[in-house]
Structure 1
């Protein structure tokens, strides 16, 4: 069983490079392929390394956000700095977050697992909280025992 909880977080900013996801929001295979292709590109062309150089910690964020009725996906880091070539500074609000913890063999598998548990299990079964939109992120926090570990952070409100 994947572990999830509610945690209070201060506001923070994630600076990222983004892409618009064109697949229908119900086409999980299409969305996952677009995300995978995007991550391959930002790792290969050095954009992710550029972000890591100005990060305030070692966390790597995969952010999902609706912007102007478009489904956007970002590779980002927590920072107060800016880069002219970055796509967006994403503001996460102070407040309660649903936090889903897990570990997998790769960052991509971790993100997919955390997203599935958060939106397929934790939120549908929660009776006292609701996700009302805004950015959400899967966060790769490090490696241990040959696995990638991290969390999904989703801002929520009390019902």
Structure 2
């Protein structure tokens, strides 16, 4: 039996990341943050499992409804399986000019004007398979958090090692 997992679909990832970048309207982005956010958009049920104090991000409990008993996976394993696909999508964004590596930092500058019109239309559509609830939660709550550190995205998502990061 074949099973489809949109988390491992490069085209769907391109759509998810485009949707995120359009909604976020940020000028710069780190590839690690983009990868973590893409994972959370593809797997909104994982938002409920964020390792944060009980009173922080109370609305994360709303993501229980995204649980699916047929999608039992190790989150870190799936995130690592998505790594190559993420790099391919980021490389594609660089090729079309949506992301431009900033030579002074390890961040990418975002040029929303370079998103192809067809992709932009599909990403902005209300009838696509992307959780706008997850995107809104990420933009409101997670984008201000740094990647590294004891309270960083790597730690609270438990998707990447963080113990040896330098702040």
Which structure: greater helix fraction? 2
Instruction: With the length of structure 2 as denominator, give the TM-score of the two structures.
Output: 0.29
Instruction: With the length of structure 1 as denominator, give the TM-score of the two structures.
Output: 0.30
Which structure: greater strand fraction? 1
